[in-house]
Amino acid sequence: MIPRTLFEHEHEEFRKTTRRFLADECMPHHEQWEEDHLVPRAIWEKAGELGLLNATTPEAYGGLGLDRRFSLIVGEEVTRVSASGLIGFGVHDIVAGYLNNFGTEAQKQKWLPKMAAGTAIAAVAMTEPGTGSDLQGVQTRATLVGDDYVINGSKTFISNGTNCDLVVVVAKTGNTGKGSQDISLIIVEGDRPGLSKSRPLRKVGLHAQDTTMLFFEDLRVPKENILGGVPGQGFFQLMKELAWERLGIAGNSIAGAQAVLEHTLEYTRGRTVFGKPIFDFQNTRFKLADMKINIAVGQNYVDKCMALCLENKLTPEASAAAKLWCSDLYSKVVDECVQLHGGNGYMLEYPVARHYLDHRVLRIAGGANDIMKELVGRTL
């Protein structure tokens, strides 16, 4: 309706590459990955070869030095096909962002080239069994003993938890009681003694995504592993790119909703009931028309936010509004589309059923939508 003007020729080529990779290398095996609750490391390496992992990492550190539209495209395409196993690419890219923005030279040299290549897989450990969006309630503690930090605590809902070679751990290093100043981000290598991982957690959807708990028991890392080398910066480091991260979720939501709409258009045109295609009933057409309108309107807002993001002008509140509205929309669209599929919509053989399972987390992850309302509420 209103053409997207965000992308240039290179972006469209990149999108084609991403689509081809997903169609040829991922989707034929995805069901197996869902059973395994894991994506093979070879797929990460293949994605790395194609430049799909950390497009914005500078060339000096093994990346492509591209703009964030490329990252947006990967998220959109992964969500379109509900390749839940690759949702972890987004988390991996967020960790690359932490390193790019705040890492010491040694940290960057050590991790970024491997991450871009897909030979090192990254996770971030924020949530704890007793703490979700309220970061200042984190209990995991890192205590300086000599030249090492000794870490104790538990983390949960860790995407890439099984596969990860490094995990950025949100831990308390201070005792001021002033919350944010006590928090640091510490890089923990996957093979450190004292780190153990749970079996993959059983989830509503995203079955191919390896999501685990992590346990830290007197785990020692050198103090150089603190992100950026200075303690007490964690809160700020986590916040810096939140607007972008949430916008990514909004963009994925719109892409997912659009894909579901397309599946449903095709299905309702092909399926006959009471002597005519489902599509030819007015109720169907009106419902689909409403979805099309909402998706178009949401896409327009996401793209405007993205244009601001590229200029570093996107505010956390504008992004929170995008995340809130677009992930809610995806839920509404997918629910209506399951309905229009009838019984088939309940069968996982149909893409719409997989979207139904996979999408639900988007209203929770990246800051629950209730938190988004708090953020937008502050601007009232």
Partner 1 sequence: MEYLIPRTLFSAEHEDYRRLAQRFLADEVLPFHAQWEKEKRVPREIWRRAGELGLLLPCIPEEYGGYGADRLYAMVIGEEYMGSGASGLGIGFGVHALVAGYILHYGSEQQKQTWLPKMVCGEAIGSIAMTEPNTGSDLQAVKTRAVRDGDEYVITGSKTFISNGVQSDLVVVVCKTGTTGTAKDISLIIVESGRDGYAKSQPLEKIGLHAQDTCMLFFDNVRVPCSNLLGPEEGKGFGQLMRDLAWERISGAIGFQAQAEAALRHTIDYTKGRTVFGKPVIDFQNSRFKLAELKAEIQIGRSWVDSCMELALRNELTPEAAAMAKHWTAELSLRVVEECLQLHGGNGYMTEYPIARLFLDTRGNRIWGGSREVMKEIIARTL
Q: How many residues does the chain have?
A: 380
CA distance 180 to 177: 8
Q: Which is nearer to partner 1, 29 or 292 (CB)?
A: 292
State the burial class of residue 28 (Cβ atoms within 10 Å of its Cβ: 0-12, 13-18, 19+). exposed
For residues 219-253, one letter each, b for 16 or more C-beta atoms within 10 angstroms of the residue's C-beta and e for the rest, the string is bbbebebbbbeebbbbbebbeebbbbbbbbbbbbb
Tell me the closest approach of the beta carbon of residue 71 to partner 1, in angstroms: 20
Dig out the tokens for 177 from the structure: 């009681």
Q: Which is nearer to partner 1, 122 or 334 (CB)?
A: 334
Specify the residue, 219 or 306, whose C-beta has the smaller distance to partner 1: 306
Q: Which one is catalytic: 245, 262, 266, 317?
A: 245
Whose Cβ is closer to partner 1: residue 342's or residue 377's? 377
- One-letter amino acid for residue 183 of the chain: I
Residue 323 Cβ vs partner 1, minimum distance, rounded to whole Å = 9
Active site annotation includes 245: yes
* Shortest spacing between CB 271 and partner 1, in angstroms: 15
113, amino acid identity = P
The β-bridge relationship of strands 148-159 and 195-197 is unpaired
Residues that bind partner 1 (CB under 8 A): 1-2, 265, 279, 285-286, 288-290, 292-294, 296-298, 300-301, 304-305, 308, 314-315, 317-318, 320-322, 324-325, 370, 372-377, 379-380
Considering the complex, what minimum distance in angstroms separates the CB of residue 292 from partner 1? Answer: 6
Shorter beta-carbon distance to partner 1: residue 2 or 175: 2
- Report in angstroms how near the CB of residue 317 gets to partner 1 at its nearest: 5
Distances (CA, A) of 292 to 266, 287, 361: 14, 9, 22
CB closer to partner 1 out of 287 and 355:
287
In the complex, what is the shortest distance from the CB of residue 178 to partner 1, in angstroms, rounded to a whole number? 25
Do residues 201 and 127 lie in contact, with contact meaning Cβ atoms separated by under 8 Å? no
Nearer to partner 1, 72 or 288 (CB): 288
CA proximity to 71, closest of 85, 44, 91, 99: 91
Q: How far is the CB of 284 from partner 1 (least distance, A)?
A: 9
* Cα distance between residue 48 and residue 44, in whole Å: 6
Cβ atoms within 10 Å of 139's Cβ, excluding its own: 14
H-helix or E-strand spanning residue 251: helix 242-270
Residue 53, CA atoms < 13 Å, CB-side half-sphere: 27
- Residue 133 to residue 372: CA distance in whole angstroms: 11
Amino acid at 345: G
Contact predicate 253/360, CB 8 Å: no
Which positions are annotated as active-site residues? 245
